[in-house]
C-alpha cells in the first residue's frame, strides 16, 4: 500500500507516492490492533495524521472513502483508518453501502468484543443527541459505527446532519461507500461530506474511469483530498 496526499485535485498525474507497506490479500480481512506497532498498523496511523492535517482548518471533520470498483480495498481502508483516527480523537465510521452483502460492522464484531451499550450505555452517553440513538460502540471507547442500512439509498441528506453534528462535538466521521462505477450512491455521499479519500489498485488501463469519477466529483463540489493505492 502507498499513500499520497496531493496538493491539488489532479488524480494520477506525476504523483509522488510514499511507500509504506506492501499489502497482502489476507490483510484485506484484517483490522489493525490499537496495541500493534507493525508496519501495517503504522501505515494507517500515518494516513490518519495526514487526514487530520487536511481537515484541521475545515469546519466539517469528515471524509468519504471511495473507489471505482468492488474489491479495491475501500472498506478495508475505511475501517482501519477509523481505528487509527480513534486513537487520537472520537471517530464515527458510517457504513454507507446499504446494499453490500456484509456490513462493515461485521468486521468489528469478529475482531473486537462489544464495548458499552449503543442504546444508552457509557460509550453512547458520550455522544451528542441524536448520535447516541443511532451509533453503537466498536473497537474501543472512541470509535462508533452508524449505518445506512435502515434507510432508502436516496436518503443521503441525513448523513450531512450526522457529519455536521459530529463535527460540532469534535468527532471525525469516516464514510464507507459503494463502488463508484456501479452506484450513484457513492457520489451522493461524497457530495454531502465534500472530502474524498480515493482508493485505487494501480491499473494504468483504468485511467479513463478514474478521470470520469474525478470530473463528476468536481461537478458536485467534492474534493479528492488524498489518494491511497492498494497493491495486492
Q: What is the mean pLDDT of residues 120-141?
A: 70
Lowest mean pLDDT among 76-80, 106-110, 116-120: 116-120
CATH number for position 85? 3.40.50.300
Cα 113–74–134 angle (5° rounding)?
A: 50
Which pLDDT value is given to residue 48?
92
Q: What is the pLDDT of residues 190-231, one digit of tens each?
A: 999 999 999 987 666 678 888 899 999 999 999 998 888 876
User: Would you tell me how many other CB atoms lie within 10 Å of the CB of residue 38?
Assistant: 10
Q: Domain range holding 101?
A: 2-229
Please state the pTM of the whole predicted model: 0.81
Would the pLDDT of 16 be above 70?
A: no
Mean model confidence pLDDT for the chain? 76
Q: What is the pLDDT of residues 23-66, one digit of tens each?
A: 444 444 577 877 788 888 888 899 999 899 989 888 889 999 99
Q: What is the DSSP string of 82-134?
A: HHHHHTTS-EEEEE--TT-SS-THHHHHHHS---S-TTTSTTGGGSPTTHHHH
> What is the tally of structural domains in the chain?
1
Lowest mean pLDDT among 45-54, 122-131, 149-158, 211-220: 149-158
Amino acid at each position: 500500500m502507498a499513500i499520497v496526499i496531493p496538493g491539488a485535485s489532479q488524480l494520477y498525474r506525476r504523483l509522488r507516492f510514499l511507500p509504506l507497506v506492501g499489502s497482502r490479500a489476507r490483510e484485506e480481512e484484517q483490522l489493525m490492533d490499537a496495541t500493534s506497532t507493525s508496519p501495517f498498523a503504522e501505515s494507517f496511523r500515518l494516513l490518519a495524521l495526514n487526514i487530520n492535517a487536511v481537515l484541521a482548518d475545515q469546519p466539517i471533520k469528515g471524509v468519504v472513502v471511495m473507489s471505482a470498483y468492488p474489491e479495491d480495498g475501500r472498506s478495508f481502508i475505511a475501517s482501519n483508518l477509523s481505528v487509527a483516527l480513534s486513537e487520537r480523537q472520537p471517530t464515527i465510521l458510517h457504513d454507507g453501502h446499504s446494499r453490500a452483502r456484509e456490513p462493515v460492522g461485521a468486521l468489528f464484531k469478529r475482531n473486537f468484543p462489544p464495548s458499552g451499550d449503543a442504546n444508552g450505555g457509557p460509550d453512547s452517553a458520550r455522544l451528542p443527541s441524536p448520535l447516541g440513538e443511532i451509533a453503537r460502540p466498536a473497537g474501543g471507547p472512541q470509535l462508533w459505527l452508524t449505518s445506512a442500512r435502515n434507510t432508502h439509498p436516496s436518503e443521503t441528506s441525513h448523513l450531512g446532519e450526522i457529519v455536521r453534528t459530529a463535527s460540532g462535538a469534535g468527532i471525525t466521521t469516516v464514510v464507507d461507500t459503494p463502488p463508484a462505477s456501479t452506484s450513484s450512491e457513492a457520489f451522493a455521499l461524497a457530495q454531502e461530506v465534500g472530502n474524498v479519500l480515493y482508493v485505487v489498485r494501480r491499473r494504468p488501463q483504468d485511467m479513463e474511469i478514474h478521470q470520469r469519477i474525478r470530473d463528476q466529483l468536481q461537478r458536485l463540489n467534492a474534493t479528492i483530498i488524498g489518494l491511497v493505492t492498494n497493491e495486492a
